[in-house]
Amino acid sequence: MSGLPIISADERLAEARGIKGAIFGKSGIGKTSLLWTLDADNTLFFDLEAGDLAIEGWPGDTIRPRTWNECRDFAVFIGGPNPALRDDQPYSEAHFAAVCERFGDPAVLDKYDTIFIDSITVAGRLCFQWAKGQPQAVSERTGKPDLRGAYGLHGQEMIAWLTHLQHTRGKNVWFVGILDEKTDDFGRKVFTPQIDGSKTGLELPGIVDEVITMAELREGDGDPYRAFVCRTLNPYGFPAKDRSGRLEVIEEPHLGRLMDKIRTGARPTPRELIHTIPQSQPDEQENAS
C-alpha cells in the first residue's frame, strides 16, 4: 500500500470544506437579494445577469463574465487545475497556467469564502450559444447546423463546469437559477430549473450538496411569506435536497444562517432518520423477504 494517499478520519475532519448548493425560485422572488445575508468582505459575486439593481449599495466585490470562455477561465482560476486532464482540455494544468498569466496570482481569491453565481440559467445560455458555433454542432453529412450535436456538447460543458466548481473544496459555491412551473398531461404542477437542455437540470442535484427552492408559501388563510424549501420530501413538489441532514423542510430565507446551520446544526439520530425515510409497502416487504 506504499504511496497510496490514504486520508485519515482526523485529517478529513480537519480539512476546510465548502458548501456547494443551488437555489431556484421564480423570477422576482428575491434570489439575488440573498447577497445581503452574506458577509460582503468574504463574498465574490459572479454576476452573469447584470441584475445588480436589486443589490445596489451592496459593498462586496463582483466579476462579470460575458462569454462562456470567460466562465470557464474564472472557474479554473477559482478552483485550480484538474491534474487528471490533458493540456488541451479546459480546467487542465495548462489552462490554469494560461489563466494565471492573464489574471495574476490566484492568491487574490483567498479572502473569499463564498462564490455567489447569479445565474446558472444565464450560464446555460452562454454555453449553448458557444456550443452552436463548434464543429460538433454541424452535421458532417449535410454541413448544416445539428442541434442534437449542440445540445450534447452543451450538456457535457455544463456538467464539466459545475463539477469543477464543486471540487473547489475550501469555498462555498452557490448557483442561483430560475424555476419554471409547468403542467403535465395529468394537470399536475411540475417544477423544473430553467436551463437550456435537459442534461444539466437532471444531473445537477447529484453534483451539489444542497438544492433549495426559494418560494412564496402560505399557511391557510394567513399572509404569504418567503421561505427556503430544503428537503426532497416536501408537500409542495419543489425540487430540494439536503445532504447535510441538518435542515428542516422549511427554513428562513437567510443564506448566511442557513450555511451556519449546515455546518454546526444537530444531525438527526438514527431513530429520527427511520421516521423520515418512507417505509416500504407491505407487498414490497413480502416480495423482499
Residues contacting residue 80 through CB under 8 Å, at least 6 positions apart: 96, 106, 168
Is residue 100 one of the residues assigned to a domain? yes
Is residue 283 predicted with pLDDT exceeding 80? no
User: In angstroms, what is the C-alpha Rg of the chain?
Assistant: 21
Tell me how long the chain is: 289
Residue 289: the pLDDT is: 36
Q: Taken in order 65, 70, 73, 79, is the CA torsion positive or negative?
A: positive
- DSSP assignment, residue 138? B
Contact 115, 165 (CB under 8 A): yes
Counting residues of the chain whose pLDDT is more than 70, the rounded percentage is 88
pTM for this model (two decimals): 0.87
Under a CB-based contact definition with an 8 Å cutoff, are residues 179 and 193 in contact? yes
The answer to whether residue 9 is domain-embedded is no
Q: How far apart are CA 162 and CA 111, in angstroms?
A: 22
- Looking at every residue in the chain, the average pLDDT score rounds to 89
Over residues 167-183, the mean pLDDT reads 93
Is the predicted pLDDT of residue 276 greater than 80, yes or no? no
8 lies in some domain: no
C-alpha dihedral (254, 257, 263, 267), degrees to nearest 10: -90
Q: What is the mean pLDDT of residues 184-210?
A: 90
Mean pLDDT of 244-258: 97
pLDDT, residue 121, reads: 95
Q: Which residue has the higher pLDDT, 139 or 5?
A: 139
Is residue 3 in some structural domain? no
76-128: pLDDT as tens digits? 999 999 999 999 999 999 999 999 999 999 999 999 999 999 999 999 999 99
Distance CA 289, CA 276 (A): 23
Q: How many domains does the chain have?
A: 1
Q: Taking residues 214-234, what's their average pLDDT?
A: 94
The answer to the question of residue 124 being in a domain is yes
Is residue 251 assigned to a domain?
Answer: yes
pLDDT at 12: 59
Q: pLDDT-derived band of residue 52, with 50, 70 and 90 as boundaries?
A: confident
Helix axes 199-207, 147-166, angle to 10 degrees: 10
DSSP letter, residue 11: H
If you average pLDDT over residues 37-62, what whole number do you get? 91
pLDDT band at 266 (very low <50, low <70, confident <90, very high): confident
Give backbone dihedrals phi and psi of 141, rounded to 5 degrees, phi first.
Answer: -80, -45
Per-residue confidence at 65, pLDDT binned at 50, 70, 90? very high
Give the residue-averaged pLDDT of 26-43. 96
Query: By the 8 A CB rule, do 56 and 49 touch?
Result: no
| Cell 486532464 sits on residue | 85
So what's the pLDDT on residue 286?
39
CATH number for position 173? 3.40.50
In the predicted model, is pLDDT for residue 60 greater than 90? Answer: yes
| Over residues 252-272, mean pLDDT | 85
**9 pLDDT higher than 70:** no
96 neighbors 73 (Cβ within 8 angstroms): no
Specify if 19 maps to a domain: yes
**What domain range includes position 172?**
15-288
Residues 195-219 have a mean pLDDT of: 94
pLDDT of 284 over the 70 cut: no
- Asked whether residue 271 is assigned to any structural domain, the reply reads yes
Distance CA(109)–CA(168), nearest Å, equals: 12
* Beta strands per DSSP E along the chain: 20-25, 43-47, 61-63, 114-118, 172-183, 189-193, 210-217, 225-229, 241-242, 250-251
